[in-house]
Structures are given as structure tokens and as C-alpha cells.
Amino acid sequence: MAPYNAHKKTIDELTLMDDYMFAQVMRQTDHLKPLLESALQMKISKIELIEIQKTEKGGYDSKGVRLDLYVTDESGTIYNVEVQTSDKKNLPKRMRYYQSVIDISFLSPGMDYKELKKSFIIFICNYDEYRRGRCIYTFENTCREEPDLKFGDESFKILLNTKGVIGETSDELKEVLKYLDDGTITGDYSRKLDDAVKAVKSSEERRLEYMLLSVWKNEMRAEGREEGREEGREEGREQGFAECMERDAKAMYEEGIKPEIIAKIQKVPVEVIEKILGLRTV
């Protein structure tokens, strides 16, 4: 495998605003639940993580979307929570695409559209997307001619701004936004999150996973670009992705990494990795 990219953060440099750390900490739903409740200003009885491989469909990863925090509550409402640390000038369109991925992943053939669940796409940004100074921006489809008329599709987009100063928000939301912004601990919740961050950094399994994931991502991007240049068509990029995944899976396995860990790093079902490694024939 290629050497680790020195320009990437080491795991010790990660904060809760980094994708990997945020996903690791918030997958413990008792860490995520207070954030959702404070952002939505409502109580949620229970949430559970949705295993994405169970809902994955063709084309799911065509744009590199990874729904690392994809959870549901007892009523079936779906929440997707992501962190965003750089202004790429396309956040609204990205949120629109994430919504389509969620809807497609949930609606199986033969299901009626009325079975689509209420959903919240929540992005936490360390910059102010709309430059209005608000801590939270909540969007719901309404009628232009009749502003009080709701479209009724039960899809909501929420932006949390760690730099925000305007708007009535709970003390808990202010606390978590402050911690996400600069790591300051101001109460029990932020202390709990900070302890969880430290636990991830001290885990040898997480350190190995992060290192291998960074290497794999770099090689996958390089392979995809090279195949795209050589072939000039989508088939080339897909072939490059598959070949890269197969090569890295075998290299990791030779180094003693278990198939379950390899599958988690590459974010594919373990059955795929076992088939690549010749451990499964069907």
C-alpha cells in the first residue's frame, strides 16, 4: 500500500468536527440524541442507527455520498447528520442529493409513496452558509403565493452554525456548538463528548482503522482519476474502483486485518470482502 498522506490529519489531531471522529462518537446514540433534541427542540424517546448496507441500492455511492449517521426513532422519522468544515459553495444542492439518497434507500419496489417517512437532513457547519449570524437555519417547503401553506412532503433541512450568535437556542445546543467550534468544555454534555473523543484516539483498533481508511481513500481517488483519464468513460472509473478495493482488501488481509474490519474500512458488506478474499464462494 502507498505511504500515509502526511498532509492529512493524524487521528490525534482530529476534533469532533472531522467526519471520522464525528461518526465514531455519534454512532453511540446516547451522544447523538441530545444534539438532535436540542436542534429540533423536541423530545425523542429513542433512536437507533440504521445499517446502511441493508438499505443500499444501485447507484448509492455514485457521487461518493456516505450516510455515516443515518438514524431513526420509534415513529420511523429518519435523521441524517453530517459535519461540514469547508464552504464548497454547493451545500444546498448537496443536501438535496442526500435527501434523494435517503428516499431511494428507504422506498422498496412496490411500496407506496405515502410510506416515505418524515426526514431531517442536518448539516453542522463551522462557517455561516447564509451569513445571517444565526445558530440554526431550518428549512421547510412552503408555497410562495401562500407562505403559511406547507408543501407537506415532511422533509426538513437544518443547518447548525457553530459560529452563530443570533436566535433563541437551548443551553445544550449552545454548549455543543461551542465545543464543536473550538473544543471548549462548558458543561456535562460537552465533557461527555470530549471523553468520547479521547476514547476513540486511545483505541488501537480505531487508530489502525483510521490510518488504513486514509490510505485507501487516497489510493481509490488516484486510481479513479487515472482510470478516468485512460478510459475517458464511466466504465473505466468503476473498474478502477473495483480493482483498487480488491487490491487493498488482499493487502490488508495479508497484514492480518480481519475481514470484518476490512469491510468496515471500505464500507461494504463483509460478504463482499469474503468473496474477494476467496473465503466465500457464493
The helix (H) or strand (E) run that includes residue 137 is strand 136-140
Nearest to 255 by CA among 211, 225, 219, 222: 211
Q: Please give the backbone phi and psi of residue 229, each rounded to the nearest 5 degrees, phi first.
A: -70, -40
Q: Which helix H or strand E contains 259, and what residues bound it?
A: helix 259-266
| Structure confidence at residue 230 (pLDDT) | 53
Report the SS3 class of residue 150: strand
**Which of 123, 63, 64, 61 has its CA nearest to residue 92?**
123
| Predicted pLDDT of residue 218 | 59
Q: What is the per-residue pLDDT across 24-79, written as a single tens digit (0 to 9) for each?
A: 999 999 999 999 999 999 999 999 988 654 344 444 344 545 566 889 999 999 99
**Contact (CB, 8 A) for 204 and 211:** no
Residue-level pLDDT at 88: 74
Query: Where does residue 108 rank: exposed (0-12), middle (13-18), buried (19+ CB within 10 A)?
Result: exposed
Q: Kindly list the domain boundaries of the chain, sorted by start residue.
A: 11-202, 204-276
* Residue 234 pLDDT: 54
* Cα(3)–Cα(111) distance, integer angstroms: 47
Residue type at 275 in one-letter notation = K
Buried b (16+ CB within 10 A) or exposed e, 40-71: beeebeebeebebeebbeeebeeeebebbbbb
Long-range contacts of residues 201-209, Cβ cutoff 8 Å, at least 24 apart: 201/11, 201/12, 201/14, 205/261, 206/11, 206/24, 207/11, 208/257, 208/261, 209/261, 209/264, 209/265
Show the low-confidence residues of the chain (pLDDT under 50): 1-7, 53-62, 64, 229, 232-233
CB 158 within 8 A of CB 123: yes
pLDDT at 236: 52
pLDDT at position 245: 77
Task: Report which of 79, 278, 37 is spatially closest to residue 173, judged by C-alpha positions.
Answer: 37
Three-point CA angle 223, 7, 28, nearest 5°: 85
